[in-house]
Every structure is written in C-alpha cells, then in structure tokens.
Structure 1
Amino acid sequence: MEMDELRVALFSGNYNYVRDGANQALNRLVDYLLRQGARVRVYSPKVEEPAFECAGELIGLPNLPIPGRGEYRLPLALSAEVKQDLAKFVPNIVHVASPDIAGHRAVTWAKEREVPILASVHTRFETYPRYYGMAFLEPVAVALLRRFYQRCDALVAPSESMAAVLREQGMNDDISIWSRGVDREIFDPSRRDLAWRRELGIADDEVAVGFLGRLVMEKGLDVFSETIAELRKRDVKHKVLVVGEGPAHEFFSQNVPDAVFAGFQRGADLGRAVACMDMLLNPSVTETFGNVTLEAMACGIPVVAARATGSTSLVADGETGRLVEPGRIGDFADVVEAYCRNDALRKEHGAAGELRSRDYSWDAINSAVAEAYIRLVTANEEAVSA
C-alpha cells in the first residue's frame, strides 16, 4: 500500500482552538500526510477565534466548555452531519487523539464498519486528579482509559518510557513510538538575547531558572514554587523567568512573587525566550513526551525534570540535565542550586542537550505514524479478504 492511498479520519478534542504541544504535533502530522499525497479529514471542536490556523480541513464536532476549564471544549458526539461527512469520505483508517465522548463514538463507528483504529496518547490524563485534591479517582481514570484504548487496534506513544507505562497498565498490546520533533529555526542557542533579558530586569550575571508551558496546576506549579522557596531560604542567587499563560497565573504569581512573567510567546519570540533561560525546571509528571524539554535542549540549556514519562527518554541524567524523583522539593532544590553555582557545569550539560536534540526531525518522526497506518490498513484488508 502506498501513502497516497491513505484516507485518514482524525478525531481530536483540541486541534487548534487552544495552542499546546499535542495539537501542534497533530497539525504537523496532518501537514506531512497531505504533502505525501494522503487524504485527511479532521474532526474536532471549532471556535470563532482559534489559536492558530490549522493544517488540513477541519469539521466541527458538537461540544461544550469543560466545567472549571472553559478554554477547553468537550466533544459530545458525532452529529448527523459528521456521520454523513464520514460516509462520503470513506476513511480506511480512523485516528483518535483523545479519549473523550466523541472519541468513543468514533471508535464505535469504525468498529461497526471494520475500519482499523489507531489511538495516539498525548498526556497522562489519569494523573490529573491528584492536582485537584482527588487522587483517589486515579484508579478509576486508569480503568476508563484502559476500556477506551483496548477497543483500538494499536496505540502510538511519544516516548518509550510512556509506552512502558501503557503496557504495564494493560492499555494495549500493540504500541509503537511516535516521538516529537523540534523546529531548529526557532529553537537554537543563537536566539539568546541579553538585551531582551535586561528589559525584563534580568541582569547578565543572574541565573534565570525557567518555566515554560501553560500555567495549569497539572504542570507541577506547586513543586516549582516550593523549590524556588527553598532556594530563597538557602540564599541562592537566581531569577525566575516564566514563559506562558493560563488559569493558574494568580496562584503562580502569588507563590513565586519575584518571578518575571514574560507571558505567552510564539515563533521566533518563543525561541528567544527559551534561549534566554539558563536552565529549565520542569517538575510535571503528566507529560508523555515533554515538548518543552526538547525545545530547551535545542536552545542549549540544561533541564531539571521529574523522573517521569517523557523526561526519562529525553534527559540523560548528569549529561544533558538532571532527573529528580517527583515531588522531592529538597532534591529539586539541590540540583537547581548546583547549576546556579556552577556556570561550567550548566554550559556543559546544555551543550550536550543541544547535540542530542539534533536527532529529532519532524518528517522522519511523522513517517512512523504513516507506517503504522499502512500496517493496520494492510492487515485489515487481508483479514477482510480472508
């Protein structure tokens, strides 16, 4: 089977209405598939003012705002119009990118028509309850996710560490890797701009401890802020540079009162902001890959990350950064302090991370998903023929 014979129906809970690493990866995938001659239809909630112009043709799904997180939409079902569009398109592979209601309906639609299903895993949804005081719900979330993913023919995960977790949880037996790439035109050490740092009030000799991402509790904002508080107690000279926006901005600004908030950045401005950090502190355990980790590495800065899925596949502990057991504030403070006090070590690990980041080419990475599509479609056609 050739690439131009693929007809892919992609279902996502967020394709372009809020910018994040997951939907940007999906857009890059669709762009790659279209350039190879494949046909793609994307089904996802639509809004009047999306965060960015999407790749491919987007068909809207019925949806409602998620309670407490109104910037996100919950796809509710497959409307009659969507089903008509699917019937006309006649996909030979269905790709589901989120385990929501519409994702379940898409899986049912595909199974009824003997269309193979690939699911991509983008975040560790089962870990979210612990950030909102409901950790007791985590086993329930795992069981619900297992029910969804076992109905799919195969999964793709962004890192081997995440694939190992999925296998351990019994999510599926067929799991391959769809990694992530980095745009080297945007993320590069040459983007560092001391004048911009000075405008933000960061002196040339100050070590900027960076946070990069949406300001939401599941990104480990509590661990980050407690680590910074510990550095203050130890009288470690540093400056916090926060790049990103989100609903937990008030919490973060109150708990890291001396931080510089650069707000949401994109394109070349984002590359400059990351390159102006001296290290990235990423304590999140919800990542399946860690786009921000790879972007920081490409900019030549070391990463201090939680020893969790995603980060363990990117950060070589003691070579390109440091890995710390999740939630251990003292240990996080120890390694951040070491970087603050040792310029040579910081630069050595940053340079090693930049070298490692060169292995991540988007087209090569996205070809792995196309190969998974072709494998599933071919196997399905052979099974139907038999």
Structure 2
Amino acid sequence: MQTSELRVALFTGNYNYVRDGANQALNRLVGYLLAQGAAVRIYSPRTETPAFPSVGKVIGVPSVPLPGRSEYHMPLFIPPSVKRDIRDFAPNVFHVASPEILGHRAITLARKQGRPVVASVHTRFETYPRYYGLTFLEPVVAAVLRRFYRRCDAIFAPSESMAQLLRDQRMNYDVGIWSRGVERDIFSPEVRDLAWRRELGIADDEPVIGFVGRLVMEKGLDVFSDAIDKLEHRGVRHRVLIVGEGPADEWFKARLPNAVFVGFQKGADLGRAVASCDMLFNPSVTETFGNVTLEAMAAGLPVVAAIATGSQSLVNDGVTGRLVRPGAISAFADALQHYCEDKDARAAAGAAGRAASERYGWDAVNQELVEAYIRVIRQRHDHREPPTQRPR
C-alpha cells in the first residue's frame, strides 16, 4: 500500500480554535499527508474565531463550551449529516486524537464499518484532577482512558517514556511512537536578541529563567512560582520571562510580581523570546512530549524539568539540563541557581541540547506514523476483508 492510497478520517476535540502543541502537531501531520498525495478529512468543533488557519478540510461537529474552561469546546455527538460525509469520504483508517465523546463515537463508527482505528496520546488527562483538588478521581479517569484506548487497534505516544507509561497502565497492547519535530530555522541560538531584552528592562548579564506555554494550573505554575520564591530568598540574581497566556494569567502575575510577561508569541517572535532566555524551567508533569522543551534545546538553552513523561526522553540529566523529582521545590531551585551562577555550565548544556535536537525532524516523524497507518490497515485486512473502498 502506498501513502497516496491512504484516506484518513481525523477526529479531534480541538483542531485549531485554541492553539496548543497537540493541534499544531495534527495540522503538520495533515499537511504532510496531503503533500504525499493522501486524502484527509478532519472532524472537529469549529468557531468563528480560530486561533490559526486550519490545514485541510474541516467538517464541524456540534459542541458546547467546557464547564470551567470555556475556551475549549466539548463535542457532543456525530450528527447524521457528518455520518453521511464520513460514509462518502470512505476512510480506510480512523485517527482519534482526544478521548472524549467524539472519539468514542468515531471508534464505534469505525468498528461498524470494519475499519482500523488508531489513537494519538497528547496529554496525561489522568493527572489533571490533582491540580483542582480532586486527586481521588485519578484512578477513575485512568480507567475511563483505558476503556477508550483499548478499543483502538493501536495507540501512539510522542515519547518513549510516555509509551512505556501507557504499557504499564495497560492502555493497549500495541503502543507505538509518533514523536515531534522542531523548526530549527525558528528555534535557534542565532535569533537571540539582547536589544529586545533591554527593551523589557533586562540587563545583558542578568540570567533569564523562561517559562513558555499556556498559563493553566496543570502546567505546574505553583511549583514554578514556589521555586522562584526560593531563588529570591537566597538572593540569587535572575529575571523571569513568561511567554504565554491563559486562564491563570492574573494568578501567575500576582505570584510573580517581578517577572516580565510578554503574552502569547508565535513564529519568529516566539523563537526570539525563547532564544533570549538563558534557561527554560518546565515543572509540568502533564505533557506526553514537551514541545517547548525541544524548542528550548534547539535554541541552545539548558532545561530544568520535572522527571516526567516527555522530559525524560528529551533531557539528558547533567548534560542538556537537569531532571528533578516532581514538586521538589528546593531541588528545582538548586538546579536553577546552578545555571544562574555558572555561565560556562549554561553554555555547555545549551550546546549539548542544540546538538541533541538535530535528530528531530517533522517529515521523518510524520512518515513513521504513515507507516504505522499502513501496518494497522494490513493487520485488519489480514483478519477481515474491509468493505470495498470508494474511488478517489
């Protein structure tokens, strides 16, 4: 089977109405598939004000704002008109990217049509309750996720550490890797801009600790701010640069009154902001990969991160940065202090990270998923002949 013979139906709760690492990866995948001659149709909630233009044809599905997080939309069901569109499109593989109602309904539809279905895992939803005082719900969420992923022919994690966790959690018996790439022309040490830092009131010799991402509690904002408090109490010279926006914006600003907040950045502006830091601090344990970690490495920054899925597969402890036990405030502060006070250590770790980032290219990682599509299609074909496909 050739790539050009693929007909992929992609189902996701967020394709482009809020920008995040997951949907940017999905848009890149669709662009790669279309460039290789494959046919793709995306089924997702839509809004009148998307965060960025979508790649490929998007068919809207009914949705409502998610309670407590109204910027996100919760798909409700697959209406008859969309089912007809799926039938006419005649996909030979279903790809579900989020474990909610739309994903469940898509799996059911794929099973009725005798089509293989794969899932990509983009975040650790089972960890979210702990950030909202509902830790007791984690086993329940994990059980719901297990039921979802076990209905799929195969599932794909963005990092080996996440893949191993999924195996340990018995989410599926066929767990593969769909990694992530990095735009090295955007994320590079060469775009570091001291003049831009000066405009923000940051001196050339001040070590800058960067945070990049959506400002939501599950990104570990409490751990980040507590570790910064430790540095300030120790009298360690530093500045904090926050790149991003989100529901916890005001909370984070109140916790870090001396930090510089530059808001949401994208493209070349984001690359400049990252490269103009001196280190990245990523205490989150919810990522399955950590795009911002890879982007910081490509920009030549050491990374201080939690020992968690994603970071474990990217950061070489003591070489490209430091890995610290989740929530260990003093240990995080120790690692940050080391890089704030030792310029040579920063440079060495940054150079090592830059070199390590070179093996991550978007075309290569997307081609691996394409090959996985073809493998699961053949596996299902070997067990049961699928219905006759409609011509392209």
TM-score by length of 2: 0.98
In 1, Cα distance between equivalents of 2:308 and 2:385: 43
In 2, Cα distance between equivalents of 1:79 and 1:353: 47
Deviations 1:301-324 (A, max 9, x none): 000000000000000000000000
In 2, Cα distance between equivalents of 1:333 and 1:3: 48
Equivalenced residues, count: 386
In 2, Cα distance between equivalents of 1:226 and 1:137: 25
What residue is the counterpart of 1:19 in the other structure? 19
In 1, Cα distance between equivalents of 2:111 and 2:384: 13
What residue is the counterpart of 1:6 in the other structure? 6
What residue is the counterpart of 1:49 in the other structure? 49
TM-score by length of 1: 0.99
Please state how far the C-alpha of 1:129 moved relative to its aligned partner: 0.4
Task: Output aligned runs, 1:1-386, within 5 Å.
Answer: 1-385=1-385
Q: Secondary structure at the match of 1:140?
A: helix
Please state how far the C-alpha of 1:103 moved relative to its aligned partner: 0.5
In 1, Cα distance between equivalents of 2:212 and 2:338: 21
In 1, Cα distance between equivalents of 2:74 and 2:385: 38
Q: Secondary structure at the match of 2:359?
A: coil
Large movers: runs of 4+ above 3 Å: none
Counterpart amino acid of 2:351?
A
| Residues 106/385 of structure 1: CA separation in 2 closer, same or farther (3 Å cut) | closer
Counterpart amino acid of 1:351?
A
Counterpart amino acid of 1:3?
T
Please state how far the C-alpha of 1:81 moved relative to its aligned partner: 1.1
Deviations 1:152-172 (A, max 9, x none): 000010000000100000100
In 1, Cα distance between equivalents of 2:10 and 2:338: 45
**Worse-superposed segment, 376-385 or 312-321:** 376-385
In 1, Cα distance between equivalents of 2:156 and 2:251: 34
Please state how far the C-alpha of 1:193 moved relative to its aligned partner: 0.3
Please state how far the C-alpha of 1:385 moved relative to its aligned partner: 3.8
Counterpart amino acid of 1:357?
S
Please state how far the C-alpha of 1:382 moved relative to its aligned partner: 2.1
Q: Secondary structure at the match of 2:165?
A: helix
Gaps of 5+ in 2: 387-392
**Percentage identity across aligned positions?**
65
In 1, Cα distance between equivalents of 2:229 and 2:92: 54
Deviations 1:218-272 (A, max 9, x none): 0000000000000011000100000000000011001111000011000000000
Please state how far the C-alpha of 1:284 moved relative to its aligned partner: 0.0
Counterpart amino acid of 2:63?
N
Counterpart amino acid of 2:253?
S
Counterpart amino acid of 1:268?
A
In 1, Cα distance between equivalents of 2:315 and 2:98: 26
Please state how far the C-alpha of 1:112 moved relative to its aligned partner: 1.1
Please state how far the C-alpha of 1:100 moved relative to its aligned partner: 0.5
In 1, Cα distance between equivalents of 2:236 and 2:384: 66
Q: Secondary structure at the match of 1:241?
A: strand
Please state how far the C-alpha of 1:80 moved relative to its aligned partner: 1.1
In 2, Cα distance between equivalents of 1:161 and 1:186: 26
Q: Secondary structure at the match of 1:273?
A: helix
